[in-house]
Amino acid sequence: MHFFWKRLLGTIPSLIGVVLVTFVLSHALPGDPAAFFAGPAANAESIAEVRAKLGLDRSLPVQFFHYADDLRRGQLGNSLTTGQPVLNDLIERLPASLELTFFALLFAVAVAIPLGVWAATRPDSMVDHACRALVSIGAAFPTFFIGLLFVYLFYFLFDIAPQPLGRLNEIMYTAPPRITGAYTVDSILAGEWSVLRASLAQLVLPSVSLGMFALAPIARITRAAMLQALGSDFIRTARASGLPARKILFSYALRNAMLPVTNVLGMVFSFLLGGSVLIEQVYGWQGVGAYAVNAVISSDYAAVQGFVLAMALLYVLLNLVIDLIATAIDPRVRFES
Amino acid sequence: MNTPRLEARALAKRYPVGNRRKGAMLHAVDDVDLVIQAGESVGLVGESGCGKSTLARLLARLIDPTSGTIFLDGEDTTALSQAAFVASPDRARIQVVFQDPTESLNPSFRVFRSIADPITRLLSIRDPAELSDRVHRAADLVGLPRELIQRYPHQLSGGQRARVGIARAIAVEPSLLILDEPTSALDVSVQAVILRLLADLRERLGMSYLFVSHDLNVVRLLCSRIVVMYLGRVVEVAPTEQLFTAPRHPYTQALVAAIPDPARRDEKRPRLDGSPRSPVDPDPDTCRFFGRCPIGTERCTQSAPTLEPVGDEHFAACHFTTVVSTERGDP
Amino acid sequence: MTFAGFARNAAYAFGENRLTLVSVVILAALVLCAIFGPLIAPYDPLMTDGTARLVPPSAAHPFGTDALGRDILSRVIVAARLDLGMAVIAALLSFAVGLALGAIAGYFGGWPDRIISRVMDTIMAFPLFVLAMGIVAALGNSVLNVIIATVVINLPFYCRFARAEVNVRREQGFVEAARMGGNGAMPVLVNHIVPNILPPMMVQVSLNMGWAILNAAGLSFIGLGVRPPTPEWGIMVSEGASFIISGEWWTFVFPGAALVLAVFCFNLLGDGLRDLLDPKRRV
Amino acid sequence: MKAPATPLLSIEDLSLVFRTRHGTVRALENVDLTVERGEIVGVVGESGSGKSVMAYAALGLQDAAAQVLGGRILFEGLDMLAAAPDVLAATRGREIAMIFQSPRTALNPIRKVGHQIADVLLEHTAVRRSDLRQRAIEALARVRIPDPERRYEAYPFELSGGMCQRVMIAMALACSPSLLIADEPTTGLDVTTQAVIMDLVREMSREARMSTLLITHDLGLAGEYCDRIAVMHAGHIVEVAPTVELLQRPAHPYTRQLLASTPTPRSSIDQLVSIPGQLPDLRSDLPACRFSARCERHVSACDERPLPWTVISPQHAVRCRVPL
């Protein structure tokens, strides 16, 4: 597992970069950071107080040191709107966002990869055209617009989806005891199957609308990668060796095609984490995205900063996982390092 | 003897590889001496990765050597860095014809601009009439029909592109032309045309050639002397016929024996097996060919052979070439 | 390529792919809206009418009216200037800066490359929409800052693309030939390499434009950048969202559809351009 | 080496076109070629002559855009152009094997080379899974790959081009096929490696009495290793003859010029002859003899269809009305 540690070490520059950028965004930009942190209702006196408290009267390197030290201790400051430490707020809401993102990814991957493979094996067929149409359309729809359309169609018009108001209909069900914070997992752990069903029902529309935007890049790259793999020299060799079509398609072409697909997953996660902010807004989902939107509107800066930092750390972590998967698939990457 | 057109002394090019801290160096070209006389045509052969292309680029001053000097007509060109040499008038005196005629032409330039660009830059000719006159003269020299001068490279055939590449190089009247595998991307029938053109041009313009190729049969046609490289070093230098009939270095022997030859189809010829040693930090006391060499002994790991005279104008770097003129013999 | 050759290829590619032609026509219409919006719009986009609130699409109001009785068609038309403007300015700025940085990193390598690449990696270490939110929140809630945020998050794509394209060509024969012909580093880069990477870069611009529109609209949707009552598609969708559960679909569908149409056309145009420039498909 | 009544492979009157967006490419026209048992046959031609297209058709692996207009390809009585896909798949790798140029890309980059050989063995032979590894290692050892146990675990990128080509040969020979098709197997390899690889191919062919069809652009290479040579020009086979006879007494003007334009260890620059003109555009209307525009011996009879084979000697035939 030599490369594992190498990859882990490789994330350090990204982490430093992330911390530096969030610091720059909060401390070193034009405008008065103290005014930001003090909130919209502050007067000159309280701003000065905040400035001293945050150490903003000191030099930038010193400020950065304090900032990094606070981060190390998990001090992200207090939210003005909730009055809670930002860290607590984030921890409370993060599982909801992760649950949503996970199901969105699941939907996107489950639809896009088979579709891309299918389209690539029959170029210029109906399936191929359908795939390309879906990709073009999927990439053109703003996440929030899809979300609203789904609500209008499936809740208002056809009445087959539950009310788009959060993670669980709190009038009919009580949330399962918190273990992971993800309702689906917690309800399974608690054996509360009706709650599981209810929370899954709430999840369907938001995760499908969020997944729609990830669908396009995955299907597109799967199709392209499969086409390229199927046209490559080693597939010709496999055909000339008389290997069965199934084996050529799956264990030769698809495995090679998975490399570009894994590489595009990084971008897909970027879309998903960004899009989840909008989807949470549309569906009243009590995740970190909705929390951040409220914080932005009410200039609750510590909360916004904590959110940006948390998402960036999460994203760095996800990229590490993607990297490890790519390394597991491709021996060349393993030997490169 | 007259001042050579080009003389390289102890030329070396090393590239750092892998972890910077360990300081491992890839020895692409190592301690190479080379002389090309005025009007002479020298062949440079060796397998891929032996450093012949790097050497050609060093001599063309496209890259800076790690150490060593290059004299052009007796002047040290290495006094200037590559970046400064680009702007010097000497730049026009060495030109290169590149390997792939498709890749070596700017796809967004018409033929005229491809040939005219070096003329304006190196000879400072900006007068449109004179420029166009020069371009046409170069095109005529390589037998490129004038109606093709306003075309883009993708509208030309492979042979026509090769002609453009040659026209561009000779348009600035160089005294040394480096030919880097100029025909390896062409079909034999086109190759024949280009080779004859090159032979003809040399005669008419009196240029010196350095002809880099992996194909001994092709080099033979144009060159009077051949330099053989192996893993960054020159292992043998000999007049062409002598190199073919009496190669002295075991690598050259294998190289000559490997040329497909219907006339010798049933002969058992020496073959070279195995793969070359690593060019990264090679042991200075071991012959680079050791391990692949059919006659190598322990002695080859104790001191690396250097280029020694083994005959008239003939040099080889091997402990086991029986030499009459020196006391060094077979141990 | 000669102009006639280009025209022939263009005619060929468009004939081959009618959708690209359609997308060009629609985009031209959108650009006309962006330029002459206020002249074309049947009503004043800001004029409220208390007697005609939430009127469904009709002859008088083809797209209906919103909660304040404003004509949605007029607002959708006038919004084109802001939406397209933000995206075009952001895409062109990031294109120019990204091309310059990427070309330098790709051609010179060494420490300029390391610094530029490290900065781009750091931007890419964030989920981009989240970073855009953070930038707008830090710089202040304004249209200009939305554009700046969009430029920043788009920069890595152009920069990396240009870097890779330059890197491929740096070692190619025609670049070495240009150096043999007396071209120094900057002339090689500017006269020989950049003209050859412009066509693929333009494809990127076109493909990226749609994404830039989506980002700007997304930011407006959550209340960043544009403020009411300014007509802008994202904020109109957001305003219309509250009327979904009472069934007034036109309030959010039309501005949303305008967004989709614009993004869709830019994507199609990008695909069409890519086909057009693909040497394998040249006649 | 005299053949029994039926040749191992016979390509009969094969005509094949590619339907492309820029017109119909007449890639092969009335191509006839036989390969006898145990024989090494070379197919020589410049790029675009159709030699690779013919080789792929012999495996039933032609491109999707290819359309066979007529003729058939019989391999031990099996029509490769009409056989069912599963019959073809069972024949490929088992009875007919193929090796390619650029061996590095011809191997699956993310699969151990040993496993790739094992895949072929598993598909075509009754080998037990427990013996699979051993059999694959034996296949590697047969082509004299040093340290085959270790190489079994290697990925293609860890091996040199020459070593990859040996792996390809090991894979091709794993099931002891009766025909090996080698498509420019040494293009891109060094001359010394080329000699080793070609020696190996020849030795393996002789040892196993396997027939080999060598596709190459290098007349010298074909001249050294083949028993018979077929020369292709613009989708036609213009001449077939035993190697020595072809090299010494070429009957087709194109063959003679091709020989004269190929540098040899004895030719000089003044003897080097270039062939006037270019290959004709295969999308245009073509004359009966596709070389006629480049031929100084062209007479009006040359334009009459069909262009007949002229027999020079029992094994030497030429497609020319005015042979040398």
How many whole angstroms separate alpha carbon A279 and alpha carbon C255?
18
Phi, psi of D230 (to 5 degrees): -110, 135
Q: Per-residue pLDDT for B8 more than 90? A: yes
Sequence length of chain A is 337
DSSP at C65 = B
Q: Please check whether residue B259 lies inside any domain of the structure.
A: yes
Residue spans of chain A under pLDDT 50: none
Closest by Cα among D202, D196, D230 to D215: D230
CA dist A260 to B151, B289, C157, Å?
38, 41, 17
Q: Which residues contact D146 (CB under 8 A, 6 or more apart)?
A: B274
Position D257 scores a pLDDT of 93
Given CB atoms, is A97 within the 8 Å cutoff of chain C?
A: no
3-state helix, strand, coil in chain A (%, to 5): 75, 0, 20
Q: Would B249 be classed as within a structural domain?
A: yes
**DSSP conformational letter for B283:** -
D217 confidence band (pLDDT: 50, 70, 90): very high
Distances (CA, A) of D130 to D121, D122, D133: 12, 11, 7
All residues at 6 or more sequence positions from C9 whose CB lies less than 8 Å from its CB, including other chains: C1, C276, C282, C283
For A201, the domain range is 92-286
Give me chain B's average pLDDT, please.
89
- Shortest distance, CA A84 to any CA of chain D (angstroms): 51
* pLDDT for D101: 87
| C271-277 mean pLDDT | 79
Residue D251 near residue D312, CB atoms below 8 Å: yes
Domain count, chain B: 1
- Nearest-by-Cβ selection for C125 from A31, A156, A312: A312
Which pLDDT does position D3 carry in this prediction? 45
Q: Per-residue pLDDT averaged across B195-201, rounded?
A: 94
Q: Is 60 exceeded by the pLDDT of residue C81?
A: yes
Total-model pTM:
0.87
Whole-angstrom Cα distance, residue A57 to residue A289? 32
* Chain-chain contact of C122 with A304 (C-beta, under 8 angstroms): no
Length of chain C: 283
Per DSSP, the three-state class of D211 is strand
DSSP A78: B
Q: How far is CA D126 from the centre of its chain?
A: 29
Environment class of A136 (CB within 10 Å of its CB; exposed 0-12, middle 13-18, buried 19+): middle
| The total number of residues written for chain B in this structure | 331
Q: How far apart are CA B310 and CA B141, in angstroms?
A: 41
Euclidean distance between CA atoms A315 and A21, whole angstroms: 15
Q: Give the per-residue pLDDT at C162.
A: 95
Of C177, C187, C195, the CB nearest to B98: C177
Whether residue B297 lies inside any domain: the answer is yes
pLDDT of residue C52 exceeding 90: no
How wide is the angle at C-alpha C151 spanned by C-alphas C125 and A313, nearest 5°? 15
pLDDT value at D2 more than 60 = no
Helix (DSSP H) and strand (DSSP E) numbers for chain A: 15, 0
Q: What are phi and psi of C51, to 5 degrees?
A: -85, -15
pLDDT of residue C246: 83
pLDDT over 90, % of chain B = 65
* pLDDT tens-digit series, residues D281-320: 999 889 999 999 889 899 998 988 889 999 999 999 999 9
A301, part of any domain: no
CB B109 within 8 A of CB B170: no
Count CA within 13 A, CB hemisphere, residue A11: 19
| Per-window interface: C 144-173 vs B, CB < 8 A | 172-173
Assign residue B237 a region: left if phi > 0, alpha if psi is -120 to 50, beta otherwise? Answer: beta
pLDDT of residue B327: 36
pLDDT of residue A10: 83
Q: How many residues appear in chain D? A: 324
- As a whole number of angstroms, the distance between CA B165 and CA C174 comes to 9
3-state secondary structure of A323: helix
Helix ranges, B206-272 (H): 216-222, 240-245, 250-257
Given CB atoms, is A274 within the 8 Å cutoff of chain C? yes
In DSSP notation, D12-74 reads EEEEEEEEETTEEEEEEEEEEEEE-TT-EEEEE--TTSSHHHHHHHHTT---TTEEEEEEEEE
Q: Which domains does chain C have, with CATH numbers?
A: 19-38+63-281 (1.10.3720.10)
Confidence of residue C23 (pLDDT cuts 50, 70, 90): confident
| Residues in a beta bridge with A225 | none
Contact B150, B112 (CB under 8 A): yes
The predicted pLDDT at position A132 comes to: 84
- What is the longest distance spanned by two Cα atoms in chain B? 69
Q: Name the nearest CA neighbour of C227 among C143, C162, C151, C283.
A: C143
Higher pLDDT, B60 or A80: B60
Q: Is A84 contained in some domain?
A: no
pLDDT in the model for residue D1 = 42
The radius of gyration computed from the CA coordinates of chain D, to the nearest angstrom, equals: 20
Q: Report d(CA C81, CA C95) in Å as an integer.
A: 20
Is D168 within 8 Å of chain A by CB?
Answer: yes
Q: Average pLDDT of B176-183?
A: 93
Which residue from A299, A304, A312 is facing C126, i.e. has the nearest CB? Answer: A312
Query: What are the pLDDT digits (tens) for D59-96?
Result: 988 888 899 999 999 999 899 999 998 999 999 999 99
Domain annotation covers residue B309: yes
- Residue C13: what pLDDT? 56
Enumerate residues 6+ apart whose C-beta is below 8 A from A44: none
Task: Give the pLDDT of residue B105.
Answer: 93
- Do residues D100 and A236 make contact, with C-beta atoms less than 8 angstroms apart? yes
Contact yes or no for B107/C196 (Cβ under 8 A): yes
Is A277 in contact with C222 (CB distance < 8 Å)? yes
Q: Say whether pLDDT at B180 is over 60.
A: yes
At D163, the pLDDT band (50, 70, 90 cuts) reads very high
Residues of chain C numbered 222-261 and touching chain A (CB < 8 Å): 222-224, 234, 237-238, 240-241, 244-245, 247, 249, 252-253, 256, 259-261
> Does residue A25 belong to the interface with chain C, where contact is any CB pair within 8 Å?
yes
Give A272-307 pLDDT, tens digit per residue: 999 999 999 889 898 999 999 988 888 788 888 899
Asked whether the beta carbons of residue B104 and residue C184 sit closer than 8 angstroms, the reply is no
What range defines the domain where residue B297 resides? 245-331
pLDDT of residue D5: 65
Cβ atoms of B86 and B137 closer than 8 Å: no
Q: How many beta-carbon contacts under 8 Å exist across A and D? A: 82
DSSP of A306-319, one letter per residue? Answer: HHHHHHHHHHHHHH
C68–chain A Cβ distance below 8 A for any pair: no
HEC string for B101-146: CCCCCCCCCCHHHHHHHHHHHHHCCCCHHHHHHHHHHHHHHCCCCH
Q: Is the pLDDT of residue D222 over 90?
A: yes
Cβ–Cβ < 8 Å for B228, B315:
no
- C and A: touch, per 3+ CB pairs < 8 A? yes
Q: Name residue, tokens 């263009």.
A: C10
pLDDT for A145 equals: 92
What number is the average pLDDT over the span C98-121?
93
Q: Of A111-115, C275-279, D275-279, which has the strongest mean pLDDT? A: A111-115
Q: How many domains does chain A have?
A: 1
A275-289, C2-16, D65-79, D205-219: segment of lowest average pLDDT: C2-16
Contact A104, C218 (CB under 8 A): no
Nearest CA in chain D to B262: D224
3-state secondary structure of D310: strand
Q: Which domain CATH number covers A250?
A: 1.10.3720.10
In a domain, B153, yes or no: no
Cα–Cα distance measured from residue D152 to residue D114, given in angstroms and rounded to the nearest whole number: 4
CB atoms within 10 A of CB A47: 19
pLDDT higher than 90, residue D255? yes
Residues of A in contact with C245 (CB under 8 A): 151, 155-156
D59 interface with A at CB cutoff 8 Å: yes
Both tokens assigned to D155: 């990925």
Cβ-proximal residues to B319 (8 Å cutoff; 6+ apart), any chain: B287, B299, B300, B303, B305, B328, B331
Residue of B nearest to C184 (CA): B86
Is the pLDDT assigned to residue C282 strictly greater than 60?
A: no
Question: Residue B1 — pLDDT band, cuts 50, 70, 90?
Answer: low
pLDDT for residue C165:
93
